[in-house]
């Protein structure tokens, strides 16, 4: 059974993650016109799941705080692996690589499932 210290640590971590995600969403809303968007201004993307500044959306994976998007077909392309994405994004000083890697990992699973490419029940080699 988990100890009280482990419980307290996880509660604090979850609260910190929730605060980071709220901050990123607030920035995304401001980037998309805030409460008074201009006519024709695109809305904040629909978020399927979020990892800090990164979100898995119906489009693919998008950064909420900077203009950076990866379309779903690039995520599901077997020729483009994690090394490609991580090596390119590691060069950007604003990227939290852990959050980005988690968004890519989850985005790939979600979009493979949505496109009928995988049930996620197959062990990958």
Q: Is there a domain that residue 86 lies in?
A: yes
Classify residue 94 by burial, with Cβ atoms within 10 Å: 0-12, 13-18, 19+: exposed
For residues 51 and 58, the answer to whether their CB atoms sit within 8 Å is no
User: In total, how many domains does the chain have?
Assistant: 1
In a domain, 121, yes or no: no
Residue 26 lies in a domain: yes
* 30 within domain boundaries: yes
Q: Is residue 119 part of a domain?
A: no
Q: Is residue 11 part of a domain?
A: yes
At residue 124, does pLDDT exceed 70?
no
Domain of residue 25: give its range.
4-114
Read off the pLDDT band of 125 (50, 70, 90).
Answer: low
In a domain? residue 120 = no
pTM of the model: 0.82
Question: What does the block give as tokens for 43?
Answer: 């809305």
> At how many degrees (to 10) do helices 97-114 and 82-89 cross?
140
pLDDT band at 1, cuts 50/70/90? Answer: low
- Rounded to the nearest angstrom, the gap between the alpha carbon of residue 20 and the centroid of all alpha carbons in its chain is 13
pLDDT beyond 90 at 33: no
At 100-116, the pLDDT tens digits run 999 999 999 999 998 88
- Residue 90 half-sphere exposure, CB side, CA atoms within 13 Å? 8
User: In this structure, is residue 88 part of a structural domain?
Assistant: yes
Q: Which residues contact 45 (CB under 8 A, 6 or more apart)?
A: 28, 55, 57, 58, 59, 62, 64
């Amino acid at each position: 059974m988990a100890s009280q210290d482990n419980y307290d640590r996880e509660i604090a971590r979850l609260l910190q993650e929730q605060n980071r995600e709220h901050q990123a969403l607030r920035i995304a809303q401001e980037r998309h016109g805030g409460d008074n968007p201009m006519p024709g201004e695109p809305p904040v993307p629909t978020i399927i799941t979020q990892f800090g500044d990164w979100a898995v959306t119906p489009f693919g994976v998008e950064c909420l705080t900077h203009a950076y998007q990866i379309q779903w077909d690039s995520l599901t392309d077997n020729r483009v692996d994690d090394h490609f994405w991580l090596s390119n994004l590691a060069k950007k000083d604003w990227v939290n690589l852990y959050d980005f890697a988690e968004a890519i990992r989850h985005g790939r699973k979600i979009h493979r499932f949505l496109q009928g490419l995988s049930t996620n029940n197959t062990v990958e080699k």
